Structure 1
């Protein structure tokens, strides 16, 4: 719906992709202020432009249409409307707007949906190669909501609790990097990255291999 006031009364026209929308089997324009899309489909998703024009000038408003997929259902009963989302995903987070209209006016309520989930690892590389005296960055890439706390461990020992000049841990975006410069043979082997928040805990194993030696 698009409303505009002016003197003289403006004419309303609708556009999609800069093309004028005219009434046909697809679009209904019973009143110029309201555009109805029949047999709506996913390809109808996108931006629509409402243009109000009179001899004094013109003004445009950009409206966005998003087609709900099969996971989302709107239920109405006795003056109430509820939105049901099945198999909810992190991408469903965001602002939702409910608008009620009647012949005497309209009102709107905005709500924010925050999807919380346990840590998930995005890292695909789990094996790294280096040699004594050569620095290497082992990357633990994690997504979580709320934000996860990250701990690097080797043989059960939390690396943030030890004081070794050749080991450092720092953050870069969603990645927690373990920078290590192997000094002895025991610096090679398995490293564990554990991510935790109040929803859950996840771990991922990484292997630092001494170049020239086979993985056992």
Structure 2
């Protein structure tokens, strides 16, 4: 009589027991020796992930980079955008710090990266989110000629971005008017007035409103009469210039 062998259930039970033992072994190993599985990891101010850091102009922003899961000393490198930051010898191994002071408007959007010197793929970054009220600049336009076109350029910076508008003599402009054209980029809010009239003369305010404050920049527009080079006075002015060059005038 043939001796019966182990059935399917016996093999399945043995497989489950082996899988359980293997799982517990790996879990135990990862607890005792995490670096052997995860490898070194970097953290800035105890956070091991790329992120934005909000701050304001004039403040101090300390950044501390540390190595986790390491089995030996690791040399660290700091970058500001693509440029290397100079570090003192005692501020390189396993932990390194730097301080951004004073924070400025120009630092908005700038990234600081800490990485391993031996492996540039191991790194972590923070990007500065510098919050500041609107800053407006611009120049008054030259004397405008009637029926010509005039452009007012208002340059604006703000974080968060500001809501922009134009006013004339303290009254909000109705930009639906076909004589007004608006051109808007991240840093330019431009008003173009087509076919200006003398009644367009006045003070134009570029207004920027954000959660951090409100600012405006005033532009003075003066519209003069249309030049007519064919007028009799224009011809006489030209004749006077010729007489000054070549002789005297007999006109009394």
Q: Counterpart of 2:85?
A: 66
Check the 8 A contact 1:128/1:207 in 2, yes or no: no
Q: Deviations over 1:12-58 (max 9, x none)?
A: xxxxxxxxxxxxxxxxxxxxxx8xxxxxxxxxxxxxxxxxxxxxxxx
Q: 2:113 aligns with which of 79, 85, 97?
A: 97
- TM-score, normalization by structure 2: 0.46
- Structure with greater helix percent: 2
Q: Kindly tell me: are residues 81 and 140 of structure 1, through their superposed partners in 2, closer, same or farther at Cα, counting changes over 3 Å? A: same
The answer to whether the aligner puts 1:109 opposite 2:124 as a matched pair is yes
Q: Kindly tell me: are residues 67 and 201 of structure 1, through their superposed partners in 2, closer, same or farther at Cα, counting changes over 3 Å? A: farther
Q: Counterpart of 1:121?
A: 136
Query: What SS is found at the alignment partner of 1:127?
Result: coil
Residue-pair matches, total: 140
The answer to whether the aligner puts 1:171 opposite 2:184 as a matched pair is yes
CA offset at residue 180 of structure 1? Answer: 0.8
Q: 2:160 aligns with which of 146, 150, 157?
A: 146
- Stretches of structure 1 that go unaligned for 5 or more consecutive residues are 1-33, 35-62
- TM-score, normalization by structure 1: 0.53
- Structure with greater strand percent: 1
Q: Deviations over 1:51-99 (max 9, x none)?
A: xxxxxxxxxxxx953348xxxx9x98xx975543222113324222234
After TM superposition, the runs of 4+ consecutive aligned structure 1 residues lying more than 6 A away are: none
- Give 1 or 2 for the bigger CA radius of gyration: 2
Q: CA RMSD in A?
A: 3.5
Distance in 2 between residues matched to 1:163 and 1:115, nearest whole Å: 35
CA offset at residue 188 of structure 1? Answer: 0.8
